Each structure stands twice: as structure tokens, then as C-alpha cells.
Amino acid sequence: MGKKDLSKLYERLMAEKRRLEAERARLTDRSGSGQGAGLELADYDLNHPADAGTELFDREKDLALVENVNSLLDQVNGALAKIASDTYGICDACGGRISDARLRALPYATMCISCQSRYED
Ligand SMILES: [Zn+2]
């Protein structure tokens, strides 16, 4: 992969990182660790007692989303670290090259396609 392609992927990874961090902040905010959010929630439950279950479900869903965002962030940060250390595009499992097409489709891929499919079995 040429330097130009690599710097394009780097830009994409940085943009993805910012997007994921913003998403995580939004989700963490909404799951209401703050005092204000708690009060709001109490008011809401008082007026709509039947919706309390839905609210709980939404918070659980948010937590699952935060976990998902965190694991994506790990992958994105891993890819950025690999670019910095000049090992980007090397499969974590077999040490072979990950194809450029795969990296363009999934810039934070850590394994080549054959290792990935073996891993998923
Ligand atoms: Zn591999």
C-alpha cells in the first residue's frame, strides 16, 4: 500500500475515532450518572409509571452500545498504533499481509481474511 493510500486510511481512522468518542460521550451522558439526569428520570417515571420498564430497557441497550463503541475504539486505536509503528496491514494471527481491498473496506481490520474466517468458526 502506498503512502498516499495509507494517509487516507489514517484520516479515516482518526475521523472514526472522533466519531466513536463523541458517540460514547453521548451514550454515557444519557445513561444518567449525573444528578440532573436522575431527577429528570424520577419526574418522568412519576408521570408515566407504565414507561418505567421501557426506560430501563433503553438504559441496558445504551450500556450494550457503549460496550460495542469501546471495542470498536480499541480496534481503531490499535490500527492507529500500527500505522505509527509501521506494522499496519500485517495480520495479527499469521503475520501475512492483509489485502489493500480489505483494509479499504475495513481500515481497522487486524487479521487477513482467511485468519478472520477461521477465527469466527
Ligand atoms: Zn492471517
Digit-coded pLDDT (tens) for 23-65: 999 998 865 554 444 444 545 555 565 666 777 788 888 889 9
- Domains for the chain: give ranges and CATH numbers: 3-120 (1.20.120.910)
CA of 115 to the centre of ligand 1 (A): 4
CA of 98 to the centre of ligand 1 (A): 7
Percent of the chain predicted with pLDDT > 90: 65
* Nearest residue to 106 via CA among 121, 93, 116: 116
Whole-prediction pTM value? 0.73
DSSP 94: T
CA distance 1 to 98: 10
Burial 47-72 (b: 16+ CB within 10 A, else e): eeeeeeeeeeeeeeebeebbeebeeb
Identify the bridge partners of residue 90 per DSSP, sorted by sequence position: 97
CA of 8 to the centre of ligand 1 (A): 23
At 56 the pLDDT is: 79
Q: Which residues surround ligand 1, an ion (CB under 5 A)?
A: 91, 93-94, 96, 112, 115
Q: Taking the alpha carbons of 61, 65, 68, 70 in that order, is the dihedral positive or negative?
A: negative
CA of 112 to the centre of ligand 1 (A): 4
